[in-house]
Amino acid sequence: MNGLFSVLIFIAGLLLGSFFNVCIYRIPREQSIVFPPSHCPSCSKQLSWLDLIPVFSWLFLRARCRYCKSRISFQYPMVELFCGLIFLFLYIIHGISGTFLTYAILCSVLVIATAIDIEHQIIPNGLVLTGTIAGVILVLTGFSVSWKDALIGMLIGGGTYLLVALLSQLVLRKEGMGGGDIKLMGMIGLMIGWRLTVLSILLSIYAGGIIGGLLLLFRVKKRGDAMPYGPFIAIGTIVSIFFGNELIQWYLQTIF
Ligand SMILES: [Zn+2]
């Protein structure tokens, strides 16, 4: 690990986070993610580089557009900072390696999917497809898990949630799991292999139960409200890739 390189990776994460904010806004609105250049969604004024410095612009402008003074969501600096930190930690743990590249791409897809799912209750097919193609290339070029591990991971990931969806359709007569969640989990399995996939599924179910329960308890959500599941998949997966091997080892030692 190299100090200067750590700073560069952190800055790259911040800048990519800034681009992901554009994706989060534009993909569900079916707009191009490259053209036109960034503009304020309220007054349509094109933004200068001074308005686009990750985290700092938001702080200096006190969360308001420089031109029309409309509020800029807290989501913008949060996504930027989160990506900067995730990239930095992945680099500290894995160095520049195939694993770093795989997890960085995976986390990027998860951040975008989470923010879109919270706002629109969808996980865009194009986003998951892009991640899947990247995952296949990484597996075939030997930068990620073995192809067998990837294939089993994809079947377990997608298959488990497909089963949950079918069962809740049959037994509860309601949609328990959306198609987007099933495809996203399949893509994750492909990228992290079957062991971490099993853990990720368990953790996402726990996260959904705990956080969902708290949201009901504090009346943020009512019973019967749509609850996006993508964020829980993202939490389970990010915890798995950072602490998965330790958690699995601890679990096996405790049980046996
Ligand atoms: Zn504006």
- Which pLDDT tens digit goes with each residue over 208-253? 999 989 998 998 888 777 789 999 999 999 999 999 999 999 988 8
pLDDT at 9: 97
Confidence label for 173 from pLDDT (cuts 50, 70 and 90): confident
4 in any annotated domain: no
- Which pLDDT tens digit goes with each residue over 189-198? 999 999 999 9
pLDDT at 188: 98
pLDDT greater than 90 at residue 166: yes
Question: What separation in Å is there between the alpha carbon of 41 and the centre of ligand 1?
Answer: 7
Question: What separation in Å is there between the alpha carbon of 38 and the centre of ligand 1?
Answer: 11
pLDDT at 1: 65
Region 155-159: mean pLDDT is 97
Question: What separation in Å is there between the alpha carbon of 228 and the centre of ligand 1?
Answer: 29
pLDDT at 227: 84
pLDDT at 135: 97
Question: What separation in Å is there between the alpha carbon of 47 and the centre of ligand 1?
Answer: 9
Higher pLDDT: 10 or 253? It is: 10
Cβ neighbours around 138 below 10 Å, total: 21
Cα dihedral value 226, 229, 232, 237, nearest 10: -170
251 in any annotated domain: yes
pLDDT greater than 80 at residue 175: no
222 in any annotated domain: yes
pLDDT at 247: 92
Domain, as residue range, for 180: 120-256
Q: For residues 134 and 197, what is the distance between their CA atoms, to the nearest angstrom?
A: 18
How far is residue 178 CA from its own chain's centroid?
Answer: 16
Region 192-206: mean pLDDT is 96
113 in any annotated domain: no
Question: What separation in Å is there between the alpha carbon of 220 and the centre of ligand 1?
Answer: 30
Region 145-164: mean pLDDT is 96
pLDDT at 214: 93
Q: Kindly state the DSSP code that residue 224 receives in the 8-state scheme.
A: T
205 in any annotated domain: yes
Q: For residues 113 and 17, what is the distance between their CA atoms, to the nearest angstrom?
A: 13
Confidence label for 178 from pLDDT (cuts 50, 70 and 90): confident
20 in any annotated domain: no
- Which pLDDT tens digit goes with each residue over 53-109? 999 999 999 999 999 999 999 999 999 999 999 999 999 999 999 999 999 999 999
Residue 87 phi, psi (nearest 5): -60, -40
Q: For residues 139 and 76, what is the distance between their CA atoms, to the nearest angstrom?
A: 32
Question: What separation in Å is there between the alpha carbon of 120 and the centre of ligand 1?
Answer: 23
pLDDT greater than 70 at residue 32: yes
Region 198-207: mean pLDDT is 95
112 in any annotated domain: no
pLDDT at 225: 79
Region 27-46: mean pLDDT is 92
176 in any annotated domain: yes
Number of compact structural domains in the chain: 1
Question: What separation in Å is there between the alpha carbon of 80 and the centre of ligand 1?
Answer: 20
- Which pLDDT tens digit goes with each residue over 100-141? 999 999 999 999 999 999 999 999 999 999 999 999 999 999
Token pair of 185 as six digits: 């989990």
pLDDT at 55: 95
pLDDT at 232: 96
Token pair 């410095």 in the structure block, residue:
53
